[in-house]
Amino acid sequence: MKIDLHRLLQDCGALLDGHFLLTSGRHSDRYIEKFRLLEQPDALDKVATAMTEDVRPEDVDVVLGAAVGGILIAGAVSRILGRRTLFTERVSGVMTLRRGFRLAPGERVLVVEDIVTTGGSVLELLKVVEQARAQVAGVVCLVDRSAGGLDFDAPSNTLLRLPIATWDPDTCPLCRQGVPLSKPGRTGKS
- Over the stretch 44-54, which tens digit does the pLDDT of each residue have? 999 999 999 99
Question: Per residue in 57-83, is it b (16+ CB within 10 Å) or e — as a string?
Answer: eeebbbbbbbebbbbbbbbbbbebbeb
- A 10 A CB-CB count for 6 gives 14
Domain membership flag for residue 60 = yes
- Give the range among 28-37, 39-48, 140-149 with minimum mean pLDDT: 140-149
Domain membership flag for residue 186 = no
The reported pTM is: 0.88
Q: Give the pLDDT band of residue 185 (cuts 50, 70, 90).
A: low
Domain membership flag for residue 177 = no
CA Rg value for the chain: 16
pLDDT at 22 over 60: yes
Domain membership flag for residue 189 = no
Q: What is the pLDDT of residue 114?
A: 92
- Parent domain of 73: 5-165
How do residues 56-72 score in pLDDT, each as one tens digit? Answer: 999 999 999 999 888 99
- Give the range among 16-25, 56-65, 98-107 with minimum mean pLDDT: 16-25
